[in-house]
């Protein structure tokens, strides 16, 4: 589905300094695969998502989605950010419809699907509420519905649960897995949390900073459907030790 070949991204800061955000990134992501990107701050995880979405061009290398070169914004993706960034003047339903509206589709034809998505995420009955009337977790669910409504084949998630409290976060992780189970998508998921990265993923991409590189790609051979109890599984512990080791080794080398 996605094929990154020796991708590098360099940009200039306002002061004119050159920053090597990403260096030599090669990665293939299969159809309906769930891949998490984990690493310390500044390792270019978010930049990588923007590159895949075509929001910013790569400096070197090639990015292809289904054998199409990504050179401009690629409309077959859904974006979910750390903040829900809903439109405060729109109701929950109209916020979900925002994506199809911006794509230039007729929102009225998507009302039924939007309702189904809200039902799927446990938000049935909240259609006419304003975002400020919802909790952080519920707002993030609305943002996920918004991303899913045009039925994109690729979902890019940039620390989507990073601003939530620990309990809501676990709940949302399991819910995302349930949604993914029901509507198979390819997911690229950026996170700071090692347990979250392992719990969700088919494969974990461990990245190290300055410049952002892939340290290792780990396959997670834990059974699905995943549950929180898996955290006590020795395989889970082994995987998380490996990831932690890679991240901290990278940190040591940077100093």
Partner 1 sequence: MTGRRALAEYAVPTVTLLGVLLVWEAATRALRVPNFIMPAPSAILGEGWRWRHHFAGHIWVTLYETLGGFALSMVVGVPLAVLIVYSTALRRALYPLIVLMQSVPKIAIAPVLLLVLGHGEIPKVIVAFLVAFFPVVVDTATGLAATPPELLDLSRSYRASAFKTFLKVRLPMAMPFVFSGAKVAITLSVIGAVVGEFVGSDQGLGYVILSATSYWKTELAFSLMILLSVMAIVLFGAVSLVERLACPWLAPADEE
Q: Is 103 in the site for partner 1 (CB under 8 A)?
A: yes
Q: Is 54 in the site for partner 1 (CB under 8 A)?
A: yes
- State the nearest-atom distance from the C-beta of 224 to partner 1, in Å: 29
- State the nearest-atom distance from the C-beta of 50 to partner 1, in Å: 7
Q: Is 83 in the site for partner 1 (CB under 8 A)?
A: yes
In degrees rounded to 5, what are phi and psi of residue 8? -130, 145
Residues whose CB falls within 8 Å of the CB of residue 82, separated by 6 or more in sequence, listed in order: 158, 159, 160, 162, 163
Q: Is 127 in the site for partner 1 (CB under 8 A)?
A: no
Q: Which of 75, 122, 125, 245 binds partner 1 (CB under 8 A)?
A: 75
Contacts with partner 1: how many residues (CB under 8 A)? 25
In degrees rounded to 5, what are phi and psi of residue 185? -130, 160
- In angstroms, the Cα distances linking 205 to 91, 96, 118, 232, 255 are 37, 30, 31, 22, 22
Distance CA 110, CA 96 (A): 9
- State the nearest-atom distance from the C-beta of 76 to partner 1, in Å: 10
33-41, 66-74, 182-190, 221-229 -> range binding partner 1 (CB under 8 A): 66-74
Q: Is 99 in the site for partner 1 (CB under 8 A)?
A: yes
Between 55 and 174, name the residue whose CB sits nearer to partner 1: 55
Q: Which of 87, 124, 228, 249 binds partner 1 (CB under 8 A)?
A: 87
Q: Which of 29, 45, 51, 81 binds partner 1 (CB under 8 A)?
A: 81
Distance CA 133, CA 94 (A): 15
Distance CA 59, CA 66 (A): 21
CA angle 199, 159, 133 (to 5 degrees): 110
Maximum CA extent, the chain: 56
Distance CA 141, CA 151 (A): 16
Q: Is 55 in the site for partner 1 (CB under 8 A)?
A: yes
Q: Is 134 in the site for partner 1 (CB under 8 A)?
A: no
Residues at the site binding partner 1, with contacts judged by CB under 8 A = 50, 53-55, 72-75, 77, 79, 81, 83, 85, 87-90, 98-99, 101-104, 130, 132
């Amino acid at each position: 589905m996605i094929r990154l070949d020796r991708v590098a991204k360099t940009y200039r800061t306002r002061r004119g300094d050159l920053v090597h955000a990403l260096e030599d990134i090669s990665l293939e992501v299969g159809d309906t695969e769930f891949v998490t990107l984990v690493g310390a701050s500044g390792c270019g995880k978010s930049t990588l998502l923007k590159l895949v979405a075509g929001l910013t061009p790569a400096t070197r290398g090639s990015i292809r989605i289904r054998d199409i070169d990504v050179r401009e914004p690629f409309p077959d993706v859904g974006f979910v950010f750390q903040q829900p960034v809903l439109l405060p003047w729109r109701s929950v339903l109209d916020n979900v419809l925002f994506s199809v509206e911006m794509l230039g589709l007729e929102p009225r034809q998507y009302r039924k699907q939007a309702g189904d998505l809200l039902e799927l995420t446990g938000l049935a009955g909240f259609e006419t509420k304003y975002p400020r009337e919802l909790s952080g977790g519920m707002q993030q669910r609305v943002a996920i519905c918004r991303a899913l409504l045009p039925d994109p084949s690729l979902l890019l998630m940039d620390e989507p649960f990073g601003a939530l409290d620990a309990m809501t976060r676990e709940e949302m992780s399991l819910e995302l897995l349930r949604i993914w189970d029901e509507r198979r998508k390819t997911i690229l998921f950026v996170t700071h949390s090692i347990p979250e990265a392992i719990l969700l993923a088919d494969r974990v991409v461990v990245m190290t900073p300055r410049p952002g590189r892939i340290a290792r790609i780990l396959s997670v051979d834990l059974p699905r459907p995943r549950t929180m109890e898996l955290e006590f599984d020795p395989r889970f512990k082994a995987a998380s030790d490996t990831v932690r080791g890679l991240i901290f080794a990278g940190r040591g080398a940077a100093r």
